[in-house]
Amino acid sequence: MFRFIVRRLLQMVVAFFGTTLIVYALMFAGQGDPIQALAGERPVTAAQRAYLTEKYHLDATGFGGFFYRYFDYLSNLLRGDLGESLTGRPIGEILANAWPVTIKLALIAIAVAVIFGVTAGVLAGIRRGSIFDNSTLLLTLLVLGIPTIVLAPLAQYLLGVKWQLFPATSGADPSFYALLLPGIVLGSLSLATALRLTRTSVAENLRADYVRTARSKGLPRRRVVTVHVLRNSLIPVITFLGVELGNLMSGAIITEGVFNIPGVGFNLFRAIRTEDGPLVVGIVSVLVVVYLVSNLVVDVLYAVLDPRIRYE
Amino acid sequence: MRVRRLAAWTALPLAVTLGLVACGSGGNGGSGESDPNAAVRIEIAEPQHLVPTNTNETSGSQVLSALFSPLVDYDEAHKPYEVAAESITSEDNTTWTVKLKDGYTFHNGEDVTADSYIDAWNYGAYAPNGQNSSYFFEKIAGFDDLQGETPKATTLSGLKKVDDHTFTVTLSQPYSEFKSILGYTAFYPLPKAAFSAPGVLAEGYEQAPIGQGPFKMKGTWQHDAKVEVERYDAFPGEQPKVAGVEFRIYQQLTAAYADVLSDNLDVIKTIPTENLSTAAVDLGDRFLQSPASSLHFLAFPTFQEEFSNPDVRKAISMAIDRDEITKSIFKDSQQPARSFVSPVVAGYRDNTVGAAGEFDPAKAKELYESAGGPSKITLSYNGDGGHKDWIDATCNQLKANLGVDCVGNAEPKFADLLTKVKAKQPVGLFRMGWIMDYPSMENYLGPLYSSNGSSNYYGYSNPEFDKLLAEGVSAPSEEEAIKKYQAAEDLLAQDMPVVPLRFGQNNFGHSTKVKNVEVDLFDRVDLVKIEVVK
């Protein structure tokens, strides 16, 4: 196991540099005129243009220019300096402010997905064909069918503005309660998927030979379900949730925007809109690490859940 | 978006009626007592910078308007009057003497002196500092010596201290409206504490700017979250009626709108487009409008053969039904435009476009055909600005009224559109907008229509126009300047380099907790007038 983790960590280093190179190249190739983008529709004076061009090496173009800027970026990165955004703020500081709230939000979303999704999935799997099963099927189809871009403003309007059960927006440094509504909205999609996965998996495992054996041994039904069925049914769900955690952290662009949470998605959205190359690369680099780590955790959890899985 | 407030308003009847209705009742707010110990919460976007000479967007200048008091402000007739200055005078329109009022102190206790202004302006004008608003100082003598990578000088030769509270500004050429410019954010003073060495801005100043205005910082700028300010009791000018302001930072206006609806936020300065049609119902008389300085127009690539004939340009203008588009697409959130400058500047006249501004499909078609206009028209716009609807509507009108083929062409961003236009690629007509820096006709005519105007991307050049404009700039008095400007504007009506379409408006709303909410020409809430309902 230890060797497996070390090997994976080494692979992560390679994957990290590979992805930053690709992201940097994409931003470089897709970059129009970041100075004009920053100024909006105002004319940019020649002096201001010269100042920013020099500061961010925007005049280094073409193949050589790309590698010049990329290695410049990398050498700073290795010294722990993520650089400055085009508005002159240190990217490290932006990320340090953005991450805590995004992590909180993602954890709430995952908790919602696990608590409601997995529980309801198990129940629906055990009582296949019941009213509960059918109604959850309908509900999850509905949730899966509504994109977040509709769901988030709708939930905000109904629960935040009309009935005022939750604050309409969370803002910076929000309380747990203020984050609850965006967390539920964000988690609802994962909830639906987790529920469907768990249900199918449980329903299938209930018919497996080892369950019949356990039953015929005279084990109580509760023990059969919680220990034998659940443990085996969770493998696909864990895979899904692990990948989903990465998604939730980066994919909260819409939710964070609607509920005004200045997290990672919020900053990524702004960075892309203003063509702020350094900021986009900085955020994406960290997201890559998040994905790699969550995948590693998933792989380790496999071994815990299913002792037959060995990595050596 | 820029400079200072214009309180009451007369030019646009609609705005006035709405404004008066609001002042009269204002939700539950109009009649109640106000609470001087409460703070208000105002929506802004994340400011790009909070250094006066580096701030040229709305959010930053809204915050700075709380922290600083300008030399001049503007009255109802858009004329500047002194605020932090005792007097601003000139005999020859070249050398201006600025005398400061006594009693102004910075929030750290420092006296506001002539040096506070001179140091700040020198810092702003010095090119290596890369300040966004440095071009505001270009009229001052010696500006050129501060440009380039290694400038010849570090200070403007045109700025001279007379005594502690008086200094003179020498311009490189006479300019009758210099006083008007001084209301802009770039001309605020900076305390000694802002500099760590002469000409070097202290690190961290921007995180908690020290000004001489009615409010001082409470804590530091919390990026992406908020900027909080509290009343500065030693402020010698008119004291605000609230204890403080929380400028809350939003990425999306729809989030701010939801907060106003649920009383979690007091003022939203711009109602999001998608909520405009329901705002009157959602907010009732808390939905307000006031004039803004923006002018929206379609520009002709006059360098292209097919658009070089003014009659073609006039025919296209005549074939567009401005009233219909502002009503059905913009839900009256903007006003139809038939002049080349905005109604918010002195010297504005209604309908200077003349016959070409009147919607007359039959005459338009006749004129278009006799002038030999092209059979296909392209309207280019930036796809990220919500322009598609009105561009398509305009295209449909041109198709129906001129019998031409018309297509809308979306460029991803405004910068992409500009790149193509600058390279003189055939993008057809393209949309543009202009927001003034200071209330003067010259601020529209110069950048937009003069041969070397900073925003003249359409290649319009009329030597006579340039001459009249230059004469206006150096005219001995403002009245004479305006006469020249108006004569220049009349030339535009003959040449039609652009089709003026709409004048902008501020469409704002507030919660039930505040009253007397006014948004000025530069999209800034008047922080001295606003009150919290008890």
Of B132, B226, B414, the CB nearest to A36: B414
Total domains in chain A come to 2
A14 in a domain, yes or no?
Answer: yes
How far from B299 is each of A42, A71, B475, CA to CA, in Å? Answer: 16, 43, 29
Work out the minimum CA distance from A98 to partner chain B, whole angstroms: 9
At residue B2, does pLDDT exceed 60? no
Confidence of residue A251 (pLDDT cuts 50, 70, 90): low
The predicted-structure confidence for B157-198, as pLDDT tens digits, reads as follows: 999 999 999 999 999 999 988 999 999 999 999 999 999 999
Confidence of residue B248 (pLDDT cuts 50, 70, 90): very high
A90 in a domain, yes or no?
Answer: no
**What is the CB-side half-sphere exposure of residue A64 using CA atoms within 13 A?**
2
Percent with pLDDT over 90 in chain A: 26
Distance, CA of B210 to CA of B528 (rounded, Å): 19
B511-514, long-range: CB within 8 Å, 24+ apart, which pairs?
B511/B260, B511/B263, B511/B264, B511/B265, B511/B266, B511/B267, B511/B286, B512/B27, B512/B28, B512/B29, B512/B263, B512/B286, B513/B29, B513/B40, B513/B263, B513/B266, B514/B29, B514/B40, B514/B266, B514/B267
Q: Going along B487-532, which residue ranges are E strands? A: 498-510, 514-515, 531-532
Q: Is there a single domain that holds both residue A62 and residue A124?
A: no
Percent with pLDDT over 70 in chain A: 98
Q: Are B454 and B445 in contact (CB under 8 A)?
A: no
Percent with pLDDT over 70 in chain B: 94
Instruction: Give the lowest-confidence range in A244-258, B245-259, B368-382.
Output: A244-258
Output the DSSP codes for B356-400: GGS--HHHHHHHHHHHT--SEEEEEEETTTT-HHHHHHHHHHHHH
Q: Where do runs of H (alpha helix) occur along B126-164? A: none
The predicted-structure confidence for B206-233, as pLDDT tens digits, reads as follows: 999 999 999 999 999 999 899 999 999 9
Q: What is the interface size between A and B, counted as CB pairs within 8 Å?
A: 120
How far from A150 is each of A155, B234, B526, CA to CA, in Å? Answer: 9, 50, 35
CA A186 to chain centroid, in Å, comes to 10
Distance, CA of B480 to CA of B456 (rounded, Å): 25
B254: contact with A, CB 8 A cutoff: yes
**A121, A127, A130, A136: CA torsion to nearest 10:** 0
Q: For position B17, what pLDDT does the model report?
A: 34
Of B56, B264, B455, the CB nearest to A169: B264
Q: Is there a single domain that holds both residue A141 and residue A206?
A: yes
Instruction: Collect all residues of chain A within an 8 Å Cβ-Cβ radius of residue B248.
Output: 171
Q: Is there a single domain that holds both residue A69 and residue A138?
A: no
Which of A217-221, B110-114, B327-331 is predicted most confidently?
A: B110-114
A92 in a domain, yes or no?
Answer: no
Q: Is there a single domain that holds both residue A184 and residue A118?
A: yes
At residue B8, does pLDDT exceed 50? no
A87 in a domain, yes or no?
Answer: no
Distance, CA of A225 to CA of B403 (rounded, Å): 74
Q: For position B11, what pLDDT does the model report?
A: 33
Q: Is there a single domain that holds both residue A64 and residue A156?
A: no
Segments forming the whole domain that contains residue A29? 2-78
Mean pLDDT of chain A: 86
The predicted-structure confidence for A48-78, as pLDDT tens digits, reads as follows: 888 888 877 777 777 777 888 888 888 888 8
A101 in a domain, yes or no?
Answer: yes
Which CATH number do you get for residue A224?
Answer: 1.10.3720.10
Residue B140 main-chain phi, psi, to 5 deg = -85, 140
A91 in a domain, yes or no?
Answer: no
Q: Is there a single domain that holds both residue A183 and residue A282?
A: yes
Indicate the angle between helix axes B361-371 and B388-402, nearest 10 degrees.
Answer: 80
Mean pLDDT throughout B490-509? Answer: 95
Instruction: Give the lowest-confidence range in A175-179, A292-296, B48-52, B292-296.
Output: A292-296
At residue B335, does pLDDT exceed 50? yes
Q: Is there a single domain that holds both residue A101 and residue A143?
A: yes
Confidence of residue A147 (pLDDT cuts 50, 70, 90): confident
A216: contact with B, CB 8 A cutoff: no
Choice between A26 and B256, residue whose per-residue pLDDT is larger: B256
Q: Torsion-angle region of residue B55: left (phi > 0), alpha (psi -120 to 50) or beta?
A: beta
Give chain B's count of helices (H) and strands (E): 14, 21
Mean pLDDT of chain B: 90
Q: Is there a single domain that holds both residue A140 and residue A265?
A: yes
Instruction: Collect all residues of chain A within an 8 Å Cβ-Cβ radius of residue B262.
Output: 160-161, 164, 167-168
Q: Are B41 and B265 in contact (CB under 8 A)?
A: yes
Residue B320 main-chain phi, psi, to 5 deg = -100, 125
Q: For position A3, what pLDDT does the model report?
A: 84
Give chain A's count of helices (H) and strands (E): 15, 0
At residue A310, does pLDDT exceed 60? yes
Mean pLDDT throughout B494-512? Answer: 95
Of B132, B226, B249, the CB nearest to A48: B132
Q: For position A181, what pLDDT does the model report?
A: 94
Interface predicted TM-score (ipTM) over 0.90: no
Work out the minimum CA distance from B284 to partner chain A, whole angstroms: 16
A143 in a domain, yes or no?
Answer: yes
Work out the minimum CA distance from A18 to partner chain B, whole angstroms: 28
A89 in a domain, yes or no?
Answer: no
Question: Among all residues of chain B, which has the CA nearest to that of A266?
Answer: B251
Q: Which two tokens stand for residue B273?
A: 């487009």
At residue A79, does pLDDT exceed 80? yes
H-run or E-run covering B299: strand B287-299
Q: For position B120, what pLDDT does the model report?
A: 97
Q: Is there a single domain that holds both residue A138 and residue A195?
A: yes
**A1 has which bridge partners?**
none
Q: Is there a single domain that holds both residue A40 and residue A144?
A: no
Q: Is there a single domain that holds both residue A66 and residue A147?
A: no
A125: contact with B, CB 8 A cutoff: no
Q: For position A225, what pLDDT does the model report?
A: 87
Q: Is there a single domain that holds both residue A260 and residue A173?
A: yes
Mean pLDDT throughout B52-65? Answer: 93
Q: For position A58, what pLDDT does the model report?
A: 79
Angle (CA) A248-A253-A257 rounded to 5° is 130
